[in-house]
Structure 1
Amino acid sequence: MVEIVEKRIPEQKVAYVPHTDSFSKLPEFIKEVGDLIAENNFKAVGYPYGSYENDLEERAENNQMFEVGMPIDNFYNDGKPAGRIGKLGLKEVTSHTVLAARHKGTHKNFNETIKAIVDYAIKNQYDIVGPITEIYFPAEEGSPVEENMTEIQIPVIYMGPKRD
């Protein structure tokens, strides 16, 4: 049974790189973003994420569209906000509400967790308003893939009866 919670995500600045490729390359894409953040003297202040809007089953494995990024403390460059530095994009994400669930183990059965969140949203009168985002928590060195922990977040707006 998947535990699903409603969370408020605070406003944050993120550095990211968009990709049209295979999710199997995610570890190298996360490293790339971390390296670009360090090279540009930004400071990561959270865990890496992957965000995608396409249905993973509708697109070929090597043709997935997604962005990989990390929250950073600021994105000022020479005293001015930067929008892009080479392939590194920089943006501010406004505060928003998500339905979230933790997924433990491989990505093989991710769709089951996503489907559980979507079903919960429909049953509980939420509208889905944005892309699925996965937050990747670091694993212990050498730990089995079954121990990997990822939080899946889906942005929503509650459309049901007024709550106190």
Structure 2
Amino acid sequence: MSELSRIPIGRFSIITQLTPKALRLYDKKGLLVPEEKDTLTGYRYYTMPQLETGIKIKLLTWLGFSLEEIGDLLEASESENKTVLDNLFNERLEETEKEIERLTQVRKILRNKEESLKLFYLRTTQPSIKEVPDIRVISLRQIAPIQQIGPMIGKIMQEIYRPENQRNMVSITGPIMFLHHGEEFTPENADFEVAVPITGRVTLEAKDLQVRTIPKSKVASTTYRGPYPEIGQGYVRVHEFVIENNYEISGPLTELYLNSPQEVPPEQLLTEIQLPIIQEDTY
């Protein structure tokens, strides 16, 4: 490499507006490997063609792509693989639109902070103790991303409305239930169950579904009104109630969806939160 074509890392950093720290990371990840490294000093030198790659990485990082995705995009660009490029850009667009929706809701709350703070407790009913009887359900339990709840509900509904089950008078007797069996919140790898209360003689085609009875229990209950992503407000209030009244949680956290996002706007969604409890020993 001639002296004129060698671009030191400092100058390369200024031109591409990528920090030396970022350039060293991209070197380590194989995204942008310097054309030459000084064996004595370890100093990195780049070439003119690598400037374009650096600018592309800068743009793709700003667009929110991960380093792994950027590597795939650069490789697809080099090989002119339009399918990979389209798929990755479409996935990023979908993620961006979801984030815009979330941020729009955040902005709405922040602009009305006084009202939002007042609603922190007004969105939930006063927690109470209730006895829940045995509930016969069709259920599906998986370890999966929490976003799979929609397809899981759809699979159960498809089974309920199969012609054979309809001839056997299978019908829904209560709200859709979500049971969280995990010991911690891991949205990408959650252990949870979706259940739909039913009556009638059920035959199942899908091997991962089951008919079971959720045993009766005593629960601390509250009803939350509002968008699902903000349901933590309800959990805070019912947990405070459990602690203040010397109860222990004895089973999976359960949500009952009392209406549907297909029928009402997010601010009118109603979710009952149930925490199975036992009385804590006090000595």
For normalisation by structure 1, the TM-score amounts to 0.81
Moved over 6 A (4+): none
1:36 aligns with 2:159: yes
Q: Distance in 1 between matches of 2:152 and 2:145?
A: 10
Shift of 1:76: 5.6
Give the aligned partner of residue 179 of structure 2.
Answer: 51
User: Structure 1: any 5+ residue segments left out of the alignment?
Assistant: none
Gapped regions of structure 2 (runs ≥ 5): 1-120
Whole-Å Cα distance in 2 between the matches of residues 143 and 91 of structure 1? 30
Partner amino acid, structure 1, of 2:249: I
Aligned ranges for residues 83-98 of structure 1 at < 5 Å?
A: 86-98=207-219
Q: Which secondary structure state, in structure 2, belongs to the residue aligned with residue 19 of structure 1?
A: strand
One of 144, 159, 163 as aligned partner of 1:21 = 144
**1:90-122 deviation line (CA, Å, top 9, x unaligned):** 111222111111111122222232122122111
Contact 2:181/2:193, CA 8 A, preserved across alignment:
no
Please tell me the residue identity of whatever aligns with 2:211: L
Contact 1:44 1:72 survives alignment (8 Å): yes
Partner amino acid, structure 2, of 1:154: L
- Any idea what SS the aligned residue of 1:28 has? helix
**Residue among 268, 279, 283 paired with 1:147:** 268
Among 199, 205, 208, which residue is 1:73 paired with?
A: 199
User: Percent identity at matched positions?
Assistant: 21
Larger strand percent: 1
Contact 2:226 2:268 in 1 (8 A): yes
Secondary structure at the residue paired with 1:108?
helix
Max Rg structure: 2
Count of residues in correspondence between the two structures: 154
8 Å CA contact 1:16, 1:90 repeated in 2:
yes
CA pair 70-56 structure 1, distance change in 2 beyond 3 A: same
Q: CA RMSD in A?
A: 2.4
Whether 2:240 is the aligned partner of 1:114: answer no
Higher RCO, 1 vs 2 (CA within 8 Å, ≥6 residues apart): 1
Normalised to the residue count of structure 2, the TM-score between the two structures is 0.49
Residue 37 of structure 1 and its aligned partner are, at CA, apart by 2.2
Name the amino acid aligned to 2:224: H
Q: Which residues in structure 2 correspond to 1:117-136 (within 5 Å)?
A: 117-136=238-257
